[in-house]
Structure 1
Amino acid sequence: MPLPTIIVPGYLESAIAYRQLEQSLLQLGLPTVTVPLRRRDWLPTIGRPVTPIVQQLDRTVKQMLHKHNAAQVNLIGHSAGGWVSRIYLGEQPYSGRGQVTSLCWKAHPLVASLITLGTPHISQERWTRANLDFVTDNYPGAFYKNVRYVCVAGKTIFGQRRPGSWLAYNSYQQTCGQGNTWGDGITPIAAAHLEGAENLVLAGVQHSPRSPGIWYGSSEPLKSWVQYLV
């Protein structure tokens, strides 16, 4: 019996955007749900700790473990959902400015595989840097040896200071400090991989399920990484 799979949405994204990916995985016989986030659930986390998001992830994991009588799950973290998942795995107390209470989920024994799709594992952007520095400092690379880390990057748009690639250039610059590089239009390849992980590069995939064209969860790209869920 395949392990249950949980999709963790990207920043400011809702669960509904991942419905097609969820259905595709269900059709492959993989029991799958998406953490039931709404866009407004992210608003209290802008520039602040993502504690409410991790708590919803924790509830979803426990529900799936109980429903399927399983000991572990697989996680698919899209964009920020990837580093949110890494916080969830960890054993260090997590809090932020203005928070009195630190929380710690220590969930790595519950997770067999973590697949990140276009996740910026580093950032120089002021709204997310504190969270990503916390992850990088405490859980560098593929930190937990009992978890299989698979990091999927897109090679679609080369960032340049010209019409058509300005957004990519600026996003890459704020993420890894270099705008003239390849990525999925939002996350540069350099930021999407982790040392010690199984790192993949997919040509032609866009960053988001709302992007025009194909994204990481479309039928063809899915074939490149779904094997890690079985």
Structure 2
Amino acid sequence: GKISLIGHSAGGWLARVYMAEYGFNGVSLLLTLGTPHLPPPKGVSGVIDQTRGLLNYVEKYCPVSSYASQVNFVCIAGRYLKGESFFKNQSIKLSSSTTEGVARVDGNLVVTRKEVTLEAIDKDMDTDSDQLNSSRLRELIVGQGYKQVCGKANVWGDGVVPEVSAHLEGAKNITIEGVYHSPVGSDDISRPWYGSNKILDNW
């Protein structure tokens, strides 16, 4: 019989590379969860292609059209948090554990390490005043992560991958509300991820 391929995050586009390399005659379904399918736009200030061109390769040599008629292709995106743009006149205070994962490039705040999770940001808030601003801080940090992927900060996504990047033309695109990207920092109640028990039946 045929198999179903399920890829989370980068595993989704790696599955596309696999099918392009080894064929897809034995594959009935490719389902991706929070996969950044599209390469980041070129020429956007502050945006660094963290895949070093790999997604450009995937887009060129692993097109959906090559297997869409034979493989059921489903792209799942999470809609957990909307990001926010960081402007030059804004200032934020972060602990060293969080700032190790961010940097400034051409005046823009850039997330340079995926380990900068929402949980880490929440732990950075240690006073009542800080806690009141934690929601905005999360939106700012997450927004800069989104910007690295799709070129825009003020978009919806799963906390790591923007919704627009997790969908792909030619596939069946589904968005699940309230779903976080990773099992790291997730919980089944307030921050479920794609693999949480309460989410599994949705895909």
TM tier, shorter chain?
Answer: 0.5 to 0.7
Cα 1:187–1:143 change in 2 (3 A) is farther
Letter of the structure 2 residue corresponding to residue 135 of structure 1: V
Select which of 63, 74, 82 maps to 1:140.
63
Match of 1:224, SS state, is coil
Matched, 1:182 2:156: yes
Deviation per CA, 1:94-153: give whole Å up to 9, x if none. xxxxxxxxxxx3231121101100000013242314111111112233540211110000
- Aligned partner of 1:110 in structure 2 is 26
Contact 1:142 1:195 in 2 (8 A): no
Structure whose residues are more often helix by fraction: 1
Cα 1:134–1:79 change in 2 (3 A) is same
Matched, 1:215 2:193: yes
Percent of residue pairs bearing the same amino acid type:
43
The structure with the larger Rg is 2
Q: CA deviation at 1:220?
A: 2.0
- Aligned partner of 1:202 in structure 2 is 176
What is the distance in 2 between the residues matched to 1:167 and 1:119?
A: 20
Letter of the structure 2 residue corresponding to residue 221 of structure 1: I
RMSD in angstroms over aligned alpha carbons? 1.5
The gaps in structure 2 that reach 5 residues or longer are: 41-47, 87-135
Q: CA deviation at 1:211?
A: 2.7
Select which of 50, 65, 81 maps to 1:127.
50
Deviation per CA, 1:147-187: give whole Å up to 9, x if none. 11100001110001441122321111011111100000100
Task: Using structure 2 for the length normalisation, give the TM-score.
Answer: 0.65
What is the distance in 2 between the residues matched to 1:87 and 1:153?
A: 20
Cα 1:203–1:112 change in 2 (3 A) is same
Match of 2:147, SS state, is helix
Cα 1:211–1:123 change in 2 (3 A) is farther
Deviation per CA, 1:13-45: give whole Å up to 9, x if none. xxxxxxxxxxxxxxxxxxxxxxxxxxxxxxxxx
Contact 1:118 1:154 in 2 (8 A): yes
The gaps in structure 1 that reach 5 residues or longer are: 1-70, 91-104, 226-230
- Aligned partner of 2:106 in structure 1 is none
What is the distance in 2 between the residues matched to 1:216 and 1:142?
A: 26
Task: Using structure 1 for the length normalisation, give the TM-score.
Answer: 0.58
Matched, 1:153 2:153: no
What is the distance in 2 between the residues matched to 1:121 and 1:173?
A: 14
Structure with more contact order per residue of length (Cα contacts < 8 Å, sep ≥ 6): 2
- Aligned partner of 1:89 in structure 2 is 19
Tell me whether 182-191 or 161-170 shows the greater mean CA deviation: 161-170
